[in-house]
Structure formats: structure tokens, C-alpha cells
Amino acid sequence: MRVAAYVRVSSPGQVKLETIEHQLQTVHRYVRDKGWELPEENVFRDDGYSGASLDRPALDLLRDRARIRELDAVVVLSPDRLARNYVHQMVLIEELEKGGCRVEFVERPMSSEPNDQLLLQIRGAVAEYERTLIRERMRRGKLAKLRAGLLLPWTCPPYGYRTDPDRPRDPDGVRADEAKAAVVAEIFATYLEEGTSLCSVSNRLRDRGITSPKGRAVWTVSSLRLVLSNPAYTGKVYAGRKRGRAPLTRGSATRPVGHSRHTMVPVAPEEWIPVATVPAIVTQQQFDLVAEKLSHNRSVASRNNKKNAYLLRALVSCGRCGLACGAQTKDRYKYYICAGKKRRLRTGEGENCAARYSPAEQLDEVVWRDLCEVLTHPESITEALQRAHGGEWLPQELKARQENLREGRAALKRQIDRLTEAYLGEVIPLAEYRRRRGELERKDEALEGQQRQLQAQADQRMELAGVADSIGDFCARVKSGLQGATFEQRRRLVELLIDRVIVTDDEVEIRYVIPTDPNSEDTRFCHLRTDYY
């Protein structure tokens, strides 16, 4: 244990009275009781320096030693010997602890006393205030540099470019990587060929052995789209092309909700910030033609085709890889086809999903027949409701989101409390206090709204009393029209009652959702699984 001691007296008269020696004797006794050793060179003395100022030579030396992590602990007689001002005490303790040096007071150790707790509250509030100021200054400073053309908006250059290793974010250091730039030019030229899709471009690159920017054997569709939509290849670098928003729920209906901090969404081109010019790899005309083709292909994609009717459209998932199954007609036969089988680029593994094509007519008939069976025998639904009692069926992601919201609101409450303590301690002015408290309260209101929404969903799902009767009434109303139902009526019923159909080879798992409110047939309740072997 590398221990140091700090002693201080304010006036020359106290020095003459040898009060600093009395401090040293008490500190030495404390160190001996702890079983530590205190070398003479680790004793820092400020003779005749006021505790109201931080400009003290021995204190500066102590802070320097702690900054380079030469000390594990420093012993001080009392907090007022370290500094008279509470804020100064907070600054010093925070700085020393960051260097791995804890502060121990002999006469007034930190405890549950109101003054000590106030000090802790102020430390937290001021530290948070400083972090907020630093974050805002960095944001504004970065924005100013971007607008002045002094800073590149990316830390890693786009595929086809390289930067100066000593100045990775200097616009003047951007150069074209000839080999990769040729690949980029080929990607643009290939995609502009008649009848060429992103998948065919990926296949050509794979056949030629050209690896993706991350070194994979297969270029994913998203990687190619990023290349084809990046205006930097025309020689113009922009910042602010995307902004964050609340995260999307999930990419597959069978996969849990993610915990991403945010989702990036495009920004209108007129809001982009022009930063710099770099060597162009393609012409502006090529880039515009590619953008037009991307937009056109997106609008005429097979997912937008409503010509053929599929009873389970957008409800089928692959049991092997978890991806959604798209509907497609081949030679007058309709199939549900896993996206991982049709496009191996979805996973980037270079291998197709091994799932078989699912004949749409057969699968539609199986699901519709089972749906009719469930509605004809509502007692099976009642049994499922009884099994659901206790809430164990509640989706895990809903529980996790509720817990996250509770923790978020608790953290905001602690921030407001620390902010109030900082204002009462005259650490921050009233205007700053009102501004920051308003921001925190607005965040809390937003979280409270989300919490109410989730709680409403949970209450709706957990309301079991009296549900069995309403389920029986619902089934009685619906089953009378099952035999003569048109396709549109069947489709509406399927959308209402089926959450997902999971197909794994010869197995079909149907996940039902049953309404509980007789006044609203769009209210979901519980899952009932039926497996076919």
C-alpha cells in the first residue's frame, strides 16, 4: 500500500505554534493503527496556505503524483484541511480517486451524516453537469470543424479510399486506393447494366474472389447498397446524412426485440453538411443513374406484388433460420420460400438455408382447417388460458422493457435530486437549474408515457377473469360463417387470430392470438401452439 499524507495550516502563526506537527502526529498514529507505512517523501505539507484556494504547491505535487498513479491512499486530518470549500473538496476527491488514490479522513470520515451526504450529492450533480457540458462542447466543436471542412465525418474511410495514418480525419489526407477504387467503379458499372440486380453483382464479385469490406467471401446486399448510395464516390463528402431515432423492434417476427440504443434514418439531402472534396471514383451522372435504378427496383420489388392472393402472406417464418418466408408463384404453383434460401446474402454466410419450399395451397389449407377446429372447440382455448394464469406466458421482451423503463425513471429521479442539491448548495445558478430540470422532466414524461402504454398491454394480456365466456361467445359468432367465407373474409380472420406460422420441414407450428374484448376483435390475448409431425 503506497500511502501519502497531506497536512496544511493557513497562517504563519499556526506554523509557529507547531499545529502542523500535531496534525502529522495524529496522521502517523492513524497510519500505524492501519498497519501501513508512511515514507517521509510521501508527506505533503502546505505551511501558511489558505484552504479557500487550490493554488498550493504541496497540493499540486500530491495531485501530480496521484495523476500518474504513484499513490494508493492519502490520509488527511479532516475535510477542511484538504479544502474549505465543499466544491473544492469534491473536485479534489474526484480527481484523486480517478488516479486510483482514495482519500481517508482521520477525524471526520465520510459517513451518513447530512453534510457528508450533501457532499456526495454535490459531487454527483457537478460531475454530471460537467459531463453534459463536455458532451455539448464536443458536439458543437465537431459541428464547427465539419462546417469549416477541417474534419472528416467518418473515422474509417469508405471502401476505395485511404487516409493518412497520422491524420486519419484530415480531409487533405484522403487518397483513392487504386485497387479498391477499381472494384467500386466496377460495382457501379455492373449495376447499371440492363437486368442486373444487387444479388447478381454480389455473385460476380464472389465468383472473382473479391472479398467484402469486412473480408468476407460474399458481399451482402446492404454492403452493396451502402457503396452505391454513398455520394463520397463522386468526390463530395457530406456530414449529417443520417440521424438517430428510437430503435426499430426487430428484423424477424420470431426473434426477440433488440436492445439497440438507436436506429439511423436518412436525412433529406438539403440538410446535409458539405465537408470536403476528395478524388472522385465515379461521375455524378453514374451516381444519379444508380440512385434512380435503386429507387425504381425498390418500388417494383416482388414484395410489392399484390397480383397473387396468399392466405398467410407476411405470417410465415422459417423454423431453421428464423427469417420470414416470402410468397412466390412459379409455373402456376404458389410457394412460401425462406428469405435465407432465396437470398443467401441475408446472413452473409455464403450458404443457402436448407429449408424446403412450402406449397402455399397445402399450407393454407392446413392452417385454415386447424383454425376452424380451434374455433369449433373453444374449450381448448380455455385450457390454454388456465395454463397462462400467473403471467409466465408474458413475452420476455415486454418484461425487459418494463424493467428498463422503471430503471430509467429511477435514474432520472436521482438526477433531479442531485440537481436540486447542487442548486441548494449554490453550485449552479437558478436559470441553469430550471433549464436542466425541465429537460429531465420532459424525459421522465416520455418514459412515463411509454410505461403507461406497456402497462396497458400487460394489463390487457393478464386480464383472465371472465375471459372464457367471452372467448366462447366470440367463437360462436365466428364459426357460423366459416364454411361460406370468402378469401377476403378468411384473410381477415387469419390476420386477427394468427400471430405466426413457423414451418420446419414437416412440422408446422401455429401461434394463435385470441381476442378477449367482445367490443373489439382486434385485441390480442394469448398464444396457443399446435404442432404437426
* Among candidate residues 238, 226, 236, 220, the one with its CA nearest the CA of residue 281: 236
Measured distance CA(167)–CA(236) in Å, rounded: 19
261 grid coordinates: 440504443
pLDDT of residue 492: 82
DSSP 32-78: HHHT----GGGEEEEET--TT-S--HHHHHHHHHHHTT--SEEEES-
- Pair type for strands 325-330 and 333-338: antiparallel
Q: Using alpha carbons, list the distances in angstroms from residue 144 to 21, 166, 174.
A: 55, 22, 20
Contact predicate 28/75, CB 8 Å:
no
pLDDT of residue 330: 83
Q: Using alpha carbons, list the distances in angstroms from residue 103 to 2, 3, 78, 482.
A: 12, 10, 10, 77
pLDDT of residue 524: 44
**Minimum mean pLDDT range among 56-60, 248-252, 424-428, 527-531:** 527-531
Residue identified by cell 405466426 is: 500
**Best mean pLDDT range from 125-129, 406-410, 422-426:** 406-410
* Contact partners, residue 517, CB within 8 Å, separation at least 6: 470, 523
- Pick 496 or 221 by higher pLDDT: 221
Position 527 pLDDT exceeds 90: no
3-state SS, residue 366: helix
* Among candidate residues 237, 275, 279, 272, the one with its CA nearest the CA of residue 150: 275
Position 75 pLDDT exceeds 70: yes
- Give Dmax over CA atoms of the chain in angstroms: 108
Residue length of the chain:
533
Measured distance CA(464)–CA(16) in Å, rounded: 82
Measured distance CA(382)–CA(475) in Å, rounded: 12
Per-residue pLDDT tens for 391-404?
444 556 667 777 87
Measured distance CA(60)–CA(44) in Å, rounded: 10
Contact predicate 58/19, CB 8 Å:
no
Strand order in the sheet with 325-330: 325-330, 333-338, 358-359
End-to-end CA distance of the chain: give it in Å, rounded.
Answer: 68
Measured distance CA(33)–CA(3) in Å, rounded: 13
Residue 14: band (very low, low, confident or very high) from pLDDT cuts 50, 70, 90: low
pLDDT of residue 180: 93
Position 127 pLDDT exceeds 80: no
DSSP 503-523: EETTEEEEEE-----TT-TT-
C-alpha dihedral (285, 287, 290, 294), degrees to nearest 10:
-130
Helix (H) or strand (E) holding 335: strand 333-338
* Among candidate residues 522, 474, 517, the one with its CA nearest the CA of residue 496: 522
Contact predicate 76/105, CB 8 Å:
yes
3-state SS, residue 193: coil
Query: Is there a catalytic annotation at residue 50?
Result: no
Q: Residue 371's Cα: distance from chain center in Å?
A: 38
* Contact partners, residue 320, CB within 8 Å, separation at least 6: 338, 340, 353, 354, 355, 504
Q: Is the pTM for the entire model greater than 0.75?
A: no
Q: Per the residue annotation, which of 10, 202, 317, 358 is the catalytic one? A: 10
Going 390 to 392 to 393 to 394, the CA torsion angle's sign is: positive
Other CB atoms within a 10 A radius of the CB of residue 286 amount to 19
Task: Give 460's Cβ-side CA count (13 Å radius).
Answer: 18
Position 525 pLDDT exceeds 50: no
Position 145 pLDDT exceeds 60: yes
* Among candidate residues 222, 191, 211, 374, the one with its CA nearest the CA of residue 290: 191
Position 514 pLDDT exceeds 70: no
Position 335 pLDDT exceeds 80: yes
**Could you tell me where the beta strands, DSSP code E, fall in 350-395?**
358-359
Task: Give 412's Cβ-side CA count (13 Å radius).
Answer: 19
Measured distance CA(14)–CA(23) in Å, rounded: 11
Per-residue pLDDT tens for 437-485?
888 888 888 888 888 877 776 665 555 545 555 666 667 777 667 777 8
Residue identified by cell 433549464 is: 435
Residue 515: band (very low, low, confident or very high) from pLDDT cuts 50, 70, 90: low
Which percentage of the chain shows pLDDT scores above 90? 25
